Amino acid sequence: MKSLWDEKEAKQFTDDLGLRVYTSRLLGRDKTLVLHGGGNTSVKITEQNILGEQEELLYVKGSGWDLETIDRLGFSPVRMEHLLKLARLESLSDPQMVNELKTHMTLSSAPTPSVEAILHAILPYKYVDHTHANAVVTITNTENGEERIREIYGDRVVIIPYVMPGFDLARECEKIFAEQGSDQTIGVVLMNHGIFSFGEDARQSYDRMIDLVSQAEQYLESHGAWELSSPEADSSGSPLYKELARLRNELSKASGFPMVLQTKQNAQTLGFANHKNIDVISQQGPATPDHVIRTKRIPMLGRDVGGYIKEYKAYFEQHSPNAKEETAILDPVPRVILDSEYGLCTVGRSAKDAAIVCDIYEHTIEIILRATALGGFKALPAQDIFDVEYWDLEQAKLRSGGNPPVFSGEVALVTGAASGIGKVCVDSLLARGAAVIGLDISSEIEGMVDRQDYLGIVCDVTSEQAIRDAIEKGVRAFGGVDILILNAGIFPAGCRIENMDLANWQKTMQVNLDANLLLMRELYLLLKLAPHGGRVVVIGSKNVPAPGPGAGAYSASKAALNQLMRVAALEWGKDNIRINELHPNAVFDTAIWTDEVLQSRADSYGLSVDEYKKRNVMGVEITSHDVAELAAEMCGPLFAKTTAAQVPVDGGNERVI
């Protein structure tokens, strides 16, 4: 393991807390040490309070912060004197402990301190680092893991048998550390959990972590358990978007709300899913209780999920002392599904959640395979895993989570999404919690939004194969399509009918009409499988009810699309798919309306540009945001019983009225 310490970077941090921030970020950069908010760091600092008194504080990582991006505000200052008194109590429930931590901070705006704050306090060192290093966790998850840890480290570390994080762990650690700690001790290994290092300055503590983890990696390498090989596997395969959509539908029905399903199909995931002992090694439990993930191996995608859910509910009722009270928050859906043909599928309430599970499980695969090569993977007993999953602190988080965004767990597909109305539709849908697939012929679509819940795909919507490929890619990323915004279109140069070029006519029809038919046809099954019902919004035009001279091709294509929408509403209503249309007019903040064109048009009417923009009954300007917000709202609960509606977004047009 390589140290990331950089003297030039370190000099930017001049005080103890600043250096704590710096080395925390170094740890967070390495995903083999910590993942997605895992790990904890702290520093003990003496400060003067408002009364002029000197008091020692523990600055410990606050809940919800990620080590990779943490700053000074991510550390919670807790009074050391009180923490040490708490450590001497005979017992303390976790909710009581959290209350004591929060009420003895010196900064009310600080985040809730880590549940391991007392453990950090009782370790007699200024800086303390805690990670879930893959190499260490691998070794502790073997039959004789403790013996191996002693062989690697000798008296350089104190070994703590597994205890669930919280007060009991702190008490056990204090007791064993007092008995076994010495001048040679530079760390603590928590079996099946992780590793601590400590020191009198930030660099010493960080360097010790790197040194200890490097020793574990070298041990694995020397025992032939480091290099992993995956069999050659064909990760292309046949299209699977319909099967994935069916699986997502079943998972969503079981959970009671829409779920995002992410598929990772590569040599590693396929090799693991096809491991000769996969039924055993995948079902023993997680690598560390911090990463509790329910896993189901399904030989054929989509089969036996219902059976798994029944088994899990029965297990829950058998093992939980408060099953009746807790059934309301029970979510029996597996978060990881292993398939022999399609590799790894991960499930979450949002695209971010599914991506986090994917990251964690890819690391878990490495840990399981290395532990297997070392002599056999052995996770904690099932009851310990169950206790962590239904830990009262975790359940309190679920209960206090608030209402999710309106489109949480749902997936939207927007065409013509790189600019104008389509681009703002993407923003409006993301803001409401949807994962969004954006299609556009422009390459700008790919990097338009840097988020885990957005996927931009370059796609010529006039190509049947390009549409199928885009749907396949989008469904592999998110699991289905619930919402479709048909926005892509072209407005050809003005031309009277007697001068109409057939090629321009056909191109207009191809983009504005045929492409939308292809999308509707290919996405019908996915919309039918949408957990809350499919929704389609067509971006039409004022030219449907009020065409203008010189716009024959455009007006005819939009009118035909309007008629297609009405037929679809008749045919798809029984499938719980609703489809509506917006007719915008004079939306001037799109690419076709340059400053020069606007000025020219305004001059032709003898108006200023501002007057020209507001040339409607209400005297208001129409923007892409106005259209996009209404398009998003039409996919929400307010329009749940509306289909085949045609709504103008034009400020009132006399010809339409």
Laid out side by side, the sheet with 40-48 consists of 75-79, 54-61, 40-48, 127-131, 194-199, 187-190, 157-160
pLDDT tops 50 at residue 303: no
Provide the 8-state DSSP code for 403.
P
The amino acid at 82: H
Token pair 């001059």 is found at: 603
Residue 114's Cβ-count burial label (10 Å; 0-12, 13-18, 19+) is buried
Summarize the confidence of residues 16-30 as an average pLDDT: 97
Provide the 8-state DSSP code for 70.
-
CA 538 to chain centre: 29
- Position 596 confidence tier, pLDDT thresholds 50, 70, 90: confident
Dump pLDDT digits (tens) for 409-446: 999 999 999 999 999 999 999 999 999 999 999 999 99
Summarize the confidence of residues 81-92 as an average pLDDT: 94
The per-residue DSSP string of 573-594 comes to GGGTEEEEEEEE--B-SSTT--
Q: Which residue has the higher pLDDT, 533 or 331?
A: 533
pLDDT tops 50 at residue 298: no
Summarize the confidence of residues 82-107 as an average pLDDT: 94
Strands 54-61 and 40-48: antiparallel
Strands 75-79 and 54-61: antiparallel
pLDDT tops 70 at residue 300: no
Residue pair 508/487 in contact (Cβ under 8 Å)? The answer is no
* CB-based contacts of 651, cutoff 8 Å, min separation 6: 585, 586, 614, 616, 617, 618, 619, 620, 621, 622
State the pLDDT at residue 638. Answer: 96
- Position 328 confidence tier, pLDDT thresholds 50, 70, 90: very low
Dump pLDDT digits (tens) for 33-60: 998 778 999 999 999 999 999 999 999 9
pLDDT tops 50 at residue 301: no
Helices (H) and strands (E) in the chain, counts: 25, 18
Of the ranges 71-85, 360-374, 601-615, the best mean pLDDT one = 71-85
Q: Which helix (H) or strand (E) holds 440?
A: strand 435-440
Distance, in Å, from the CA atom of 213 to the CA atom of 33, rounded to the nearest integer, reads: 9
pLDDT tops 50 at residue 243: yes
Summarize the confidence of residues 118-143 as an average pLDDT: 95
Summarize the confidence of residues 161-171 as an average pLDDT: 88
For residue 75, what are the β-bridge partners?
A: 61
**Domain annotation for the chain: domains and CATH numbers:** 7-222 (3.40.225.10), 241-399 (3.40.225), 411-587+622-649 (3.40.50.720)
- Position 327 confidence tier, pLDDT thresholds 50, 70, 90: very low
- Position 595 confidence tier, pLDDT thresholds 50, 70, 90: confident
pLDDT tops 50 at residue 172: yes
Lowest mean pLDDT across 44-58, 125-139, 144-158, 281-295: 281-295
pLDDT tops 70 at residue 194: yes
Q: What percent of the chain has pLDDT over 90?
A: 71
State the pLDDT at residue 231. Answer: 64
Outline where 327-456 has alpha helix (H).
351-374, 382-389, 392-399, 420-431
Q: Which residue has the higher pLDDT, 449 or 592?
A: 449
- pTM of this structure: 0.88
Please give the span between the terminal C-alpha atoms of the chain, in angstroms, as a whole number.
71
Q: Which helix (H) or strand (E) holds 75?
A: strand 75-79
Q: Rounded to the nearest 5°, which phi and psi values hold at 56?
A: -85, 130
Q: Which helix (H) or strand (E) holds 472?
A: helix 464-478
